[in-house]
């Protein structure tokens, strides 16, 4: 372990100040741009927008869990044929490894991931400033050149000391921003020059539906604009869906931890919030796993 730490420190000593290395992952970070983000947080309707986001987040969480439950029950009643969607490899967001993410779409996927993660974390940062939480650092975590996460680092203890309502506003802001971006792109797709998202979806994901789907349009014929819009829409939707799940470490799990406190059933010092999150985490992960692997069990 000491040798690994020494190697890590040696690598970090040779990197620019704005880059850190952490066991295979690079963290590109900055403390710049905070004045701009703070100006966004001072908008006239920011507080109302954040409150709207809390409601949207709760509805989205209920919808996401209900969708997983519906898919699991449907699979138990009438098990579908296994498809590429059940291959665990296809959960990895690496072009060329994931069957649905071809190498030819790598640039579009990287752009889309940067936009989805950037919008998500920017919204968290704006909400932090609106709730008077100091932002120490903003950054992106990458696996080589592939962005795998973005983050906003608040000042120590500032977030934990906030009232539950303020915490909920901050936690829900990222998902709300992702949903807004997805809706805006959906509207853009109504314009004649943006192409068809349905065509793009079936071009990339036809194997989800088995062998019976005929893809009339090859991937190579999809325009650059359509590709950028489609993948940005796709990753914003997926980032929102994953983050609303009530799983520990995700926004949904942290929101669920607030639920017993807000409703008066518990205090911050009680074990009840942690127990609630543990139960919802196991349940959500179990439903997700069942959705993926039930078709393989009955195959």
Angle between helix axes 164-188 and 106-130 (nearest 10 degrees) is: 140
pLDDT tens by residue, 247-271 = 998 999 999 999 888 877 777 667 8
pLDDT at 238: 94
Residue 216 lies in a domain: yes
Give the span between the Cα atoms of 253 and 250, in whole angstroms. Answer: 5
Mean pLDDT over 22-31 rounds to: 71
Q: Please tell me the total count of domains within the chain.
A: 1
* Residue 170 resides in a domain: yes
Task: State the virtual CA torsion across 47, 239, 223, 108 in degrees, nearest 10.
Answer: 110
Q: Is residue 122 part of a domain?
A: yes
Q: For the chain, give the mean pLDDT.
A: 85
Query: pLDDT over 90 for what percent of the chain?
Result: 40
> Quick check: 78 pLDDT over 60?
yes
Domain membership of residue 12 (yes or no) is no
* 6 within domain boundaries: no
pLDDT value of residue 280: 94
Task: Indicate whether 272 belongs to any domain.
Answer: yes
Cα torsion for 78, 84, 90, 96, to the nearest 10°? -170
pLDDT in tens, 214-250: 555 677 788 999 999 999 999 999 999 999 999 998 9
Residue 212 confidence (pLDDT): 47
Q: Show the domain range for 158.
A: 17-297
- CA pair distance 107, 261, nearest whole angstrom: 44
Contacts of 179 (CB under 8 A, 6+ apart): 56, 60, 236, 237, 240
In a domain? residue 10 = no
For residue 6, with 0-12 CB atoms within 10 Å meaning exposed, 13-18 middle and 19 or more buried, which class applies? exposed
Q: Which among 184, 169, 179 has a CA at the least distance from the CA of 41?
A: 169
Cβ atoms of 57 and 172 closer than 8 Å: yes
Q: Has residue 269 been placed in a domain?
A: yes
Residues β-bridged to residue 30: 138
In angstroms, the CA 276 to CA 264 distance is 14
In this predicted structure, the answer to whether residue 166 has a pLDDT above a threshold of 80 is yes
């Amino acid at each position: 372990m000491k040798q690994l730490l020494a190697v890590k420190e040696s690598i970090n000593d040779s990197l620019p100040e704005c880059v850190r290395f952490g066991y295979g992952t690079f963290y590109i970070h900055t403390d710049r741009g905070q004045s701009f983000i703070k100006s966004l947080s001072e908008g006239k309707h920011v507080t109302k927008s954040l409150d709207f986001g809390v409601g949207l987040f709760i509805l989205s969480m209920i919808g996401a869990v209900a969708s997983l439950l519906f898919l699991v029950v449907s699979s138990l009643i009438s098990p579908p044929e296994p498809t590429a969607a059940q291959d665990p490899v296809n959960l990895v967001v690496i072009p060329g490894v994931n069957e649905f993410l071809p190498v030819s779409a790598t640039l579009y996927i990287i752009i889309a991931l940067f936009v989805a993660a950037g919008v998500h974390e920017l919204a968290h940062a704006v909400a932090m400033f609106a709730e008077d939480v100091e932002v120490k650092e903003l950054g992106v975590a990458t696996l080589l050149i592939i962005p795998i996460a973005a983050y906003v680092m608040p000042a120590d203890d500032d977030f934990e000391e906030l009232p539950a309502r303020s915490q909920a506003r901050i936690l829900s802001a990222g998902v709300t921003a992702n949903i807004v971006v997805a809706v805006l792109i959906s509207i853009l797709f109504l314009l004649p020059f943006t192409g068809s998202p349905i065509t793009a979806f079936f071009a990339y994901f036809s194997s989800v539906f088995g062998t019976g789907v005929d893809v009339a349009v090859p991937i190579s014929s999809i325009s650059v604009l359509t590709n950028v819009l489609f993948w940005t829409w796709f990753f914003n939707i997926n980032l929102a869906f994953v983050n609303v799940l009530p799983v520990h470490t995700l926004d949904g799990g942290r929101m669920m931890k607030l639920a017993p406190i807000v409703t008066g059933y518990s205090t911050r010092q009680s074990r009840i919030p942690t127990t609630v999150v543990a139960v919802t985490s196991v349940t959500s992960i179990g439903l997700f796993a069942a959705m993926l692997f039930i078709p393989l069990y009955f195959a």
